[in-house]
């Protein structure tokens, strides 16, 4: 009986997981700023950068996950 070695995931897979997790938190905080604006206003607050950058992080993380989802046996 031949034992298969566990397949290792590349580091970029875990980078993708972290980007999705942190981007999700930033996006959720950006969504909350749509409904409850901050007391102190900044010049670019109307553009909601936390929401958009959170989405960029989530999309980047999903791309990392999709491109590195296949595992290779070493």
Mean of the per-residue pLDDT values for the chain?
89
How confident is the model over 15-27, as pLDDT tens digits? 999 999 999 999 9
State residue 7's pLDDT score.
Answer: 78
Residue 55 lies in a domain: yes
Looking at the 3D structure of the chain, how many domains does it have? 1
Q: Is the dihedral of CA 32, 37, 39, 41 positive or negative?
A: positive
Residue 72 lies in a domain: no
Residue 73 lies in a domain: no
* pLDDT band (50, 70, 90) for residue 41: confident
Residue 17 lies in a domain: yes
* Domain extent at residue 55: 11-37+44-67
Q: Is the pLDDT of residue 28 over 80?
A: yes
- What distance in Å separates the CA atoms of residue 63 and residue 65, rounded to the nearest whole number? 5
Q: Is the pLDDT of residue 74 over 70?
A: no
Residue 1 lies in a domain: no
Residue 20 lies in a domain: yes
Closest CA to 17 of 56, 53, 70, 63: 63
Looking at per-residue confidence, does 36 or 20 come out higher? 20
């Amino acid at each position: 009986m031949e034992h298969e070695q566990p397949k290792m995931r590349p580091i970029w897979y875990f980078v993708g997981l972290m980007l999705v997790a942190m981007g999700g938190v930033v996006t959720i905080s950006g969504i909350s700023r749509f409904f409850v604006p901050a007391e102190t206003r900044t010049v670019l607050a109307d553009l909601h950068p936390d929401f958009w950058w959170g989405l960029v992080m989530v999309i980047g993380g999903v791309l990392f996950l999709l491109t590195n989802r296949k595992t290779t046996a070493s």
